[in-house]
Amino acid sequence: MQKIIILVLLSSIMVSCDFSLKEEGNLEPIARVNNSYLYKEDVSELVSEAVTKEDSAVLVQNYINNWASKQLFLDGALLNLSEEKQAGFDKLVAQYKTDLYTKAYIEALVSRNLDTVVNRSMAEAYYDKNKDVFKLNEELLQFRYIHVDENIIDYSGIEKKFKRFNEKDKRELDSMSIQFKSYSLNDSIWIKASQVISKIPAITPENKNQLLKKSNFVQLKDSLGVYLMQINDVLLRNDTAPLEFVTPTINQIVRNKRKLELIKKLEKDITKDAIKNKEFEIYK
């Protein structure tokens, strides 16, 4: 079995934990496995003022041992694996490096050049052309609710404002919302019925169908208080999703499409420019 040689005594590491770097070109090794060396700079990030000297020494010791194990296995592989096997791995490593660098560079170019703005008219055009794609797989609601203590002052007045819900009522309910246990007064947005059910414990399998009735007022009680709910509109499974609900998805689809088109253009342009500048040629 090949041997590992520690060139700097670990006891001295524990005493000082001083891993300041030497001048460049004069790095100090702390361990060796055959012809491979581990330097102080390789473990310097393991040592900080926030860590005690004893803990730093343990971290460094573990790092050295792990490094040594991997290096010994690597050396063993280079000695024992066939040349054909090693050549195959070398190709994989080279390909991975190429893919990694290429992907990073393309992403940088895309980030710099991609138009990410999707305005309302673009989203509407895509939606109108692809409505069949946007079928709901669960129910959506437009609703508002408040959760209050049953003994809250002027409960009847609050209920009246909640049901009527004109502009004045909206302002007054919003101003007194600090008295509510929880609430949501924005009934113009679409929300998944499953989210409503998870938000309101008083909704049970027995009464959840009340949520799926348009223009329905629902009052439920539990040990924590009273829930007042007004369902304005409902969309069921397999209905076409409203534009407002799928706009984020459409925006992402449009951006992804632009990204793919931009990447194709970059690939074409980089080759074209290289041929023009005599940086790329095919020998016949």
Q: Using one digit for the tens of pLDDT, what is the confidence trace for 97-152?
A: 999 999 999 999 999 999 999 999 999 999 999 999 999 999 999 999 999 998 89
pLDDT attached to residue 47: 80
Tens-digit pLDDT profile for residues 169-211? 999 999 999 999 999 999 999 999 999 999 999 998 889 899 8
Tens-digit pLDDT profile for residues 37-72? 999 888 888 887 777 888 888 989 999 999 999 999
pLDDT of 22 strictly over 50: no
User: What are the residues whose beta carbons fall under 8 Å from the beta carbon of 251, sequence distance 6 or more?
Assistant: 118, 123
Copy the structure tokens of residue 68. Answer: 């040594």
Q: What is the number of other CB atoms lying within 10 angstroms of the CB of residue 164?
A: 10
User: Could you tell me how many residues make up the chain?
Assistant: 284
Is domain 135-240 annotated with CATH 3.10.50? yes
What's the DSSP call for residue 119? -
The average pLDDT across 2-22 equals 43
Predicted confidence band of residue 11 (pLDDT cuts 50, 70, 90): very low
> How far is residue 176's CA from residue 191's CA, in Å, rounded to a whole number?
24
Q: Based on DSSP, count helices (H) and strands (E) in the chain, helices before strands.
A: 9, 8
* Average model confidence (pLDDT) across the chain: 89
Predicted confidence band of residue 18 (pLDDT cuts 50, 70, 90): very low
pLDDT attached to residue 24: 43
Predicted confidence band of residue 20 (pLDDT cuts 50, 70, 90): very low
pLDDT attached to residue 25: 57
Tens-digit pLDDT profile for residues 70-93? 999 999 999 999 999 999 999 999
